[in-house]
Amino acid sequence: CEKKRCVPFRKFNGTCGRTAQAKEFKTTQGRWPVKSAKVILNLLKNAEGNAEFKNLDTDNLRIQHIQVNPAQQGRRRTYRAHGRIGPYMSCPCHVEMILQEKEEAVEKPDEETKPKKFTKKQLAKRRLRVGGDK
């Protein structure tokens, strides 16, 4: 596990430690989330396999959209002192990722500009504006 570049924590950073590497992102708090990074890398490999199956060029793929939403929590129980039971919740999430092929830049051909068409009402307003100082 090489800690080359930290991930800045801007939200939910109450108990997150500080690191000098976070200065790059103009914040002080950051971590190196190994477990989350492995999940995202596996998701990217899966998306690359799906793209190959759909005959897309995997070298030209880029992430167009990525979003993480909370999923329904799993409920288990933990046994406490004096015969009590406490909740033991898990916090799973849904990761949504959309990949798209890079589009090559195509020059737009020069189009002839059409003269603007005005209605009778617009022409009358223009005439009033021009000769309105009488």
What confidence tens digit (pLDDT) does each residue in 51-68 have? Answer: 999 999 999 999 999 999
pLDDT at 93: 94
Cα–Cα separations (whole angstroms), residue 99 to 61, 103, 104: 6, 12, 16
Q: Is the pLDDT of residue 134 over 70?
A: no
CB atoms within 10 A of CB 84: 8
DSSP string covering 24-92: GGT-SBEE--HHHHHHHHHHHHHHHHHHHHTT--GGGEEEEEEEEEE-PPEEEEEE-GGG-EEEEEE--
Q: What is the pTM of this model?
A: 0.66
| Dist CA 62 CA 101 (whole Å) | 6
**Of the listed ranges 43-57, 63-77, 81-95, 117-131, the one predicted with least confidence:** 117-131
Residue 75 has pLDDT above 90, yes or no: yes
The DSSP symbol for 106 reads: -
pLDDT at residue 132, rounded to an integer: 57
Distance of alpha carbon 57 from alpha carbon 62, whole angstroms: 11
Read off the pLDDT band of 111 (50, 70, 90): confident
CB 9 within 8 A of CB 30: yes
